[in-house]
Amino acid sequence: MTSYQFDDHAIHWNRFGDFVPSFHYTILDLDEKSRIADVLFKFPANEQIVLHRHHALNHTFVVQGEHRLYETDGSLRETRPTGSYTVSPGSEVPHREGGGGQDVIIHFSIRPGNEELLYEILDDAGNPLGTVTFQALVELYQAQRSSTPG
């Protein structure tokens, strides 16, 4: 069986805040009426992004690498290999995410329904630092579209 490497060089990656310098995203599509956002996230290899909670339903598909989920104490909770598809409802249980031996690229289909809050960003003690709302994704998508060539 032939093995292929996903080439992400043509993707216009955006930096996701100051939480982890190499944590990037690109919004593929955003349907305001249906309230569905399709986003590629790129988490760095052998690193963990900021502690957070998912408040919305997320469908994920691992495009490249190994998607790792970590407990609040940094211990490994779950590993999802390339090709894994997962449906995860919102949860009050915080976690971190990251890549395995290479950067991981994951397609997130974020489906909040009528809820506005998508993610809650937390400090290491679990205290809220900020939020990511559906409206924030709308604004990021508009900014991305206006700055992306073509």
Residue 26 lies in a domain: yes
Our count of domains for the chain comes to 1
**Ranges of H-type helices in the chain:** 134-147
Residue 9: inside a domain: no
Report if residue 47 sits inside a domain. Answer: yes
DSSP 60-72: EEEEES-EEEE-T
Containing domain of residue 95, as a range? 14-143
Residue 42 lies in a domain: yes
8 occurs within a structural domain: no
- The Cα 59–Cα 44 span in angstroms is 20
Question: What is the pLDDT, as a whole number, of residue 131?
Answer: 94
pLDDT at 95: 97
Distance CA 68, CA 142 (A): 30
Q: Is residue 102 part of a domain?
A: yes
Which of 58, 113, 45 has its CA nearest to residue 90? 58
Angle at the Cα of 30 (from 26 to 32), degrees rounded to 5?
Answer: 150
Query: CA dist 122 to 14, 53, 72, 127, Å?
Result: 21, 8, 10, 5
pLDDT in tens, 22-32: 789 999 999 99
The CATH number of residue 47's host domain is 2.60.120.10
Residue 125's pLDDT is 94
pLDDT score of 19: 63
Structural domain contains residue 80: yes
Its pTM stands at 0.93
pLDDT tens, 55-111? 999 999 999 999 999 999 999 999 999 999 999 999 999 999 999 999 999 999 999
The radius of gyration computed from the CA coordinates of the chain, to the nearest angstrom, equals: 15
- Region of 35 on the Ramachandran plot (φ > 0 left; ψ -120 to 50 alpha; else beta): left
d(CA 41, CA 35): 18
What CA–CA distance (Å, rounded) separates 96 from 87? 17
110 in any annotated domain:
yes
Taking residue 70's Cβ as centre, other Cβ atoms within 10 Å add up to 18
